[in-house]
């Protein structure tokens, strides 16, 4: 549900809705539920620490991804919106198959087209992605651990534009 | 677990950058300072050891191989002038790509660890709540219930006072038929009378269904739980 919808139904200003959402998130702290945000969409989901029990109840299979799929997914997650060519430039291999796999599993989705020659499709992660990885929002994505990783990041950030 | 994605990889390497990064790590070298040309030989050994590959896969590995060999040549002969047709990335550009790829791989590893930890969220499946069909009213339900209660009470009273009356559907059918023949129109409530027993009501109802089946009468009900109006079907009743 989007913030705008919530505002319309509850009859509150965006600011009020935001406060209410923050209150709700705080109220869920330590319970079996929590709020998850994907862009403008808000959703109530079960808390990750209870995943084993909920999965057992739902009979849900654990998601498994190959190393190649995980790499592609991490590029899309950290760089979104991103085109297939940009992902391929970073990984150095063809990513057709992995992008298809990730999209069919609803972990990534199309986000319109890039205004560049050929108008390539842009990809971004879905709220299913957040769910599968137990993230409350994209701000929750794990950061690179190594200190030089952080240092490198600034230099590396500009490469895709050169390559793409 | 059966539905694992088909993995496009070569000897466990997801592409040339993966192989190159693997070599750097194997030799415990620093990505920032390593001379990438020094890795050319080790890289070529690995590529040669690879089994038959699809052409587009091989080309990606070979493109990097040629780049590494060129870097190596340049480091051996620093005076070597760039060839006029020589384009593509410099060592620093390749290093930047490798570094970036290293970050991607690290992040992929972190995401993979999250997956393996299985600490995921679940949303509620299904969309909207199914609402009961419209038209039913709480009052109608309540009055229907009170009628049932009234019937049940009467039944019990009669059970105590006297053995239940016995009605035959045939008998009741004849009675209703006669009544309809005389008045043309009668309501179900009238047929039931003031204090029907359950048995009487059931027999009357079955008799009506039978008459309807035979085409003697028409049945009409204006709305849910309203009284049923029984009318004679003229043409047929004349025949019967």
Structure tokens at B184: 């043309």
Domain-wise residue ranges, chain B = 16-78+88-117, 163-239
Contact by Cβ (8 Å): B64, B43:
yes
Q: What phi-psi label fits residue B224: left (phi over 0), alpha (psi between -120 and 50 degrees) or beta? A: beta
Lowest mean pLDDT among A58-62, A109-113, B152-156, B177-181: B152-156
In the block, tokens 């950290």 appear at: A78
pLDDT of residue B190: 84
Q: Which residues of chain B have pLDDT under 50?
A: 1-11, 161, 163, 235-240
Cross-chain residue pair A55–B118, CB shorter than 8 Å: yes
CB A102 within 8 A of CB A108: yes
Q: Are residues A74 and A24 in the same domain?
A: no
Q: What is the CATH number of the domain that holds A9?
A: 1.10.10.10
How many domains would you assign to chain A?
A: 2
pLDDT at A138 over 90: no
Of the partner residues A34, A91, A101, the one whose CB lies closest to the CB of residue B15: A91
Q: Is B85 helix (H, G, I), strand (E, B) or coil?
A: coil
Claim to verify: residue A76 and residue A133 sit in the same structural domain: yes
* A residues 21..80 contacting B (CB < 8 A): 34, 36, 43-49, 51-52, 54-55, 58, 60-71, 73-75, 77-78
Q: Are residues A46 and A114 in the same domain?
A: no
Chain B: closest CA distance from residue A51 (Å): 6
Per-residue pLDDT, averaged over A117-137, amounts to 90
Contact by Cβ (8 Å): B173, B216: no
Residues A91 and A157 in one domain: yes
Report how far residue B145's alpha carbon sits from residue B148's, in angstroms, rounded to the nearest whole number. Answer: 5
Query: For the residues A22-47, what does the mean pLDDT come to?
Result: 84
- Pairing of the two strands A82-83 and A41-46: unpaired
| Judgement on whether residues A13 and A75 belong to the same structural domain of the protein | no
User: What pLDDT is attached to residue A145?
Assistant: 47
Backbone angles phi, psi at B173, to 5 degrees: -60, -45
Same domain? For A74 and A121 the reply is yes
Phi and psi at B217, nearest 5°, equal -130, 165
Domain that holds residue A94: 67-163
Smallest Cα distance from B157 to chain A, Å: 51
Q: Measured on CA atoms in the order B61, B63, B65, B67, is the torsion positive or negative?
A: negative
Let me know whether A27 and A79 are in one domain.
Answer: no
Last residue of a domain, one of A40, A58, A76: A58
Beta carbons within 10 angstroms of residue B118's beta carbon = 14
Average pLDDT, chain A: 80
Q: Which of A18, A39, A58 is the last residue of a domain?
A: A58
Rounded CA-CA distance B108/A44 in Å is: 26
Distances (CA, A) of B41 to B20, B69, B72, B78: 11, 8, 9, 19
| A155 and A79 part of one domain | yes
Specify whether A95 is located in the same domain as A154: yes
CB atoms within 10 A of CB B76: 9
> Across-strand partners of A123?
A82, A110
Bigger pLDDT: A37 vs B144: A37
CATH class of B163-239: mainly alpha
Percent of the residues in chain A that have a pLDDT greater than 70, as a whole number: 87
Using CB atoms, pick whichever of A34, A131, A156 lies closest to residue B120: A131
Decide if A82 touches B, using CB distance below 8 A: no
């Amino acid at each position: 549900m989007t913030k705008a919808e919530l505002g319309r139904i509850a009859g509150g200003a965006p600011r009020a809705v935001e406060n209410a959402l923050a209150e709700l998130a705080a109220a869920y702290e330590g319970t079996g539920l929590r709020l998850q945000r994907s862009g403008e969409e808000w959703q109530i989901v079960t808390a990750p620490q209870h995943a084993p029990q909920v999965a057992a109840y739902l009979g849900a299979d654990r998601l498994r991804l190959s190393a190649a799929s995980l790499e592609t997914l991490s590029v899309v997650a950290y760089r979104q919106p991103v085109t297939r060519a940009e992902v391929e430039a970073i990984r150095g291999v063809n990513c057709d198959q992995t992008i298809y796999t990730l999209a069919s599993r609803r972990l990534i989705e199309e986000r319109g087209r890039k205004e560049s020659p050929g108008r390539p499709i842009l990809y971004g992660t879905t709220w299913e992605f957040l769910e599968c990885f137990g993230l409350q929002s994209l701000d929750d994505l794990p950061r690179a651990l190594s200190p030089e990783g952080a240092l490198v990041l600034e230099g590396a950030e500009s490469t895709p534009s050169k390559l793409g | 677990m059966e539905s694992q994605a088909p993995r496009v990889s070569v000897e466990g390497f997801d592409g040339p950058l993966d192989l190159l990064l693997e070599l750097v790590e194997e030799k415990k070298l620093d990505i920032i300072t390593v001379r990438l040309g020094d890795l050319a030989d080790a890289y070529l050994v690995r590529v040669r050891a690879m089994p038959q590959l699809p052409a587009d896969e091989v080309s990606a590995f070979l493109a990097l191989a040629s780049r590494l060999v060129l870097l190596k040549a340049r480091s051996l002969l620093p005076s070597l002038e760039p060839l006029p047709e020589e384009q593509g990335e410099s060592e620093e550009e390749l290093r930047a790509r490798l570094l970036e790829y290293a970050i991607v791989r690290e992040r992929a590893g972190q995401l993979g660890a999250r997956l393996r930890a299985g600490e995921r969220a679940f949303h509620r499946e299904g969309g909207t709540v199914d609402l009961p069909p419209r038209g039913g009213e709480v009052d109608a339900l309540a009055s229907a219930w009170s009628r049932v209660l009234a019937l049940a009470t009467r039944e019990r009273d009669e059970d105590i006072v006297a053995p239940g009356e016995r009605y035959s559907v045939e008998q009741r059918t004849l009675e209703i038929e006669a009544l309809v023949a005389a008045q043309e129109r009668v309501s179900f409530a009238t047929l039931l009378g003031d204090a029907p027993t359950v048995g009487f009501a059931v027999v009357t109802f079955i008799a009506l269904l039978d008459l309807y089946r035979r085409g003697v009468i028409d049945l009409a009900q204006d709305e849910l739980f309203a009284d049923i109006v029984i009318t004679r079907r003229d043409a047929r009743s004349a025949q019967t």
